Amino acid sequence: MKSRNSLRSLKRQPGSIVVRRRGRSFVINKNNPRVNARQG
């Protein structure tokens, strides 16, 4: 999982969902797990 400044490019990937947990934003992608990222 990468920590990123901007999740904008990752949320355009097919199958990705933006989730907020514990004050952090996560991008979760079941189709392509390399896209998983955290912000904050």
Mind giving me the DSSP string for 1-40? -EE-S--HHHHTSTTEEEEEETTEEEEEESS-GGG-EEE-
Q: Give percent of the chain with pLDDT exceeding 70.
A: 100
8-26 burial: b if 16+ Cβ within 10 Å, else e? eebeeeeebeeeeeeeeeb
What is the rounded average pLDDT of the residues 12-35? 95
Residues spanned by the domain of 18: 2-39
Q: Using the predicted structure, report yes or no on whether residue 28 has a pLDDT greater than 90.
A: yes
What is the model's pLDDT at position 1? Answer: 84
Q: How far apart, in whole angstroms, are the C-alpha atoms of residue 14 and residue 22?
A: 25
**pLDDT for res 26:** 96
23: pLDDT strictly greater than 90: yes
Instruction: Give me the number of domains the chain comprises.
Output: 1
Percentage with pLDDT > 90 across the chain = 90
